[in-house]
Amino acid sequence: MPGMVSMTQPIQQSFNPYTENGGTILAIAGADFTVIAGDTRQSEGYSIQTRYAPKVFRLTDKAVLAVNGFAADGNMFVKKVRQRLEWYRHAHAKDMPIRAIARLIQTMLYARRFFPYYVYNILGGIEEDGTGAVYSFDPVGSYEREACRAAGAAQSLVQPFLDNQIYFKNQTPAAGTAFPKHLPLSTVLPLVIDSFTSATERHIEVGDGLEIYVVLARNSTALAGLQSLRGVQEVTGTNDGERVFVIRRDLKKD
């Protein structure tokens, strides 16, 4: 009616282009190898969109990238990183070192800081000196080199376990002994499988399948034990010396 003050509250309009698609990734660096793993479930809320959505991708024979968060952003980001690495390969007739790949990823993420890729990246592989390396990133490009890192829906469950088993947090060595600086591959692989098995039991967004990528330095002592495992497939692309293997395991599907 004329003269009456409207009591209607203002309506806020919002636009959110992101979503969370679950899943978990992790990486562990050894003396001459690196293990990068991720589950294959892609979900949104209580709905499973697909039971096979890989989160771990081979970039070169020295580098493997795991992505987690918004699946569409993750897939597009991996595509763009691979494109940049292909340009480098054509220009220099060699693969980009993993330290340079880490800096490249940092630059690409920071360039999109005002509309970021909603993905948490973990880069694992072999440095030029033959040692294992893990680089973890936040969505806007901050990164650091670590011995191990987990990310994703079950990060709060997996990371404390890795801190205890890899960094030996809250453990005291026996008298006259010291904890090893690096664990052997035969010890790391069961830790990775146990991490995802326990995360699957406690978290609905983790499950279905597990893909474990193992990057070995040339002349790695871990090669003999790795080839004897069930379901190991080599995905090495060149003859430069480094080798990449993938191990697949089933996880709970409920």
Which pLDDT does position 254 carry in this prediction? Answer: 84
Q: List pLDDT tens digits, range 219-235.
A: 898 888 888 888 899 99
> What is the Cα–Cα distance from 250 to 179, expressed in whole angstroms?
32
Two tokens at 120? 């948490």
**Residue 15 lies inside a defined structural domain of this protein:** no
Query: Is the Cα dihedral 105, 238, 243, 131 positive or negative?
Result: negative
**Residue 136 lies inside a defined structural domain of this protein:** yes
Q: List pLDDT tens digits, range 19-36.
A: 999 999 999 999 999 999
**Residue 123 lies inside a defined structural domain of this protein:** yes
**Residue 7 lies inside a defined structural domain of this protein:** no
**Residue 78 lies inside a defined structural domain of this protein:** yes
**Residue 209 lies inside a defined structural domain of this protein:** yes
**Residue 11 lies inside a defined structural domain of this protein:** no
Counted domains in the chain: 1
**Residue 9 lies inside a defined structural domain of this protein:** no
Residue of 253, 149, 150, 154 lying closest to 203 (CA atoms):
154
Which pLDDT does position 2 carry in this prediction? Answer: 60
Which pLDDT does position 161 carry in this prediction? Answer: 97
Q: Give yes or no for a contact between 209 and 39, defined as CB atoms under 8 angstroms apart.
A: yes
**CATH code, domain carrying 96:** 3.60.20.10
Range of 68's domain?
A: 24-43+50-251
